[in-house]
Amino acid sequence: MDEEANKEIKQEIINAQPAQFPDFNKINERLRDEAKHNVNHSPIQQGPYLICRSCTQQHTIAWIGTEKMLVGVKENGEPILKAR
C-alpha cells in the first residue's frame, strides 16, 4: 500500500469513533466518594461491630472493639461511643 492509502485508512478509523473503554480507577474512586458521603446510616452495636440496619442490605460500618459501647448518634450521623 502506498502512503496516501495508509493516511486515508487512519483517517477513516478516527472518523469511525471506536468504542472507548471506561477508566475503572475513576469509577472506583467515584463510588468510594459517594459511599463516604452517605450519613443516613442507623448504627446499632453487635459485639465489637457497628452495624447499619437502615440500608436495604445490612452492612458493617466499623469495628470498635470490646472496650467501647455505642450510646447514641450525633445529628451528623457520627456514633457516640463510651469506654466500658
Residue 84 scores a pLDDT above 80: yes
d(CA 16, CA 22): 18
13-63 pLDDT, tens digit per residue, is 888 887 888 889 999 898 887 767 655 778 899 999 999 888 778 889 899
Tell me what pLDDT residue 53 has: 84
- Tell me the domain boundaries of the chain: 41-84
Tell me what pLDDT residue 51 has: 92
Whether residue 54 contacts residue 42, with contact meaning beta carbons closer than 8 Å, is answered with: yes
In eight-state DSSP terms, residue 60 is: E
Tell me what pLDDT residue 34 has: 72
Tell me what pLDDT residue 1 has: 60
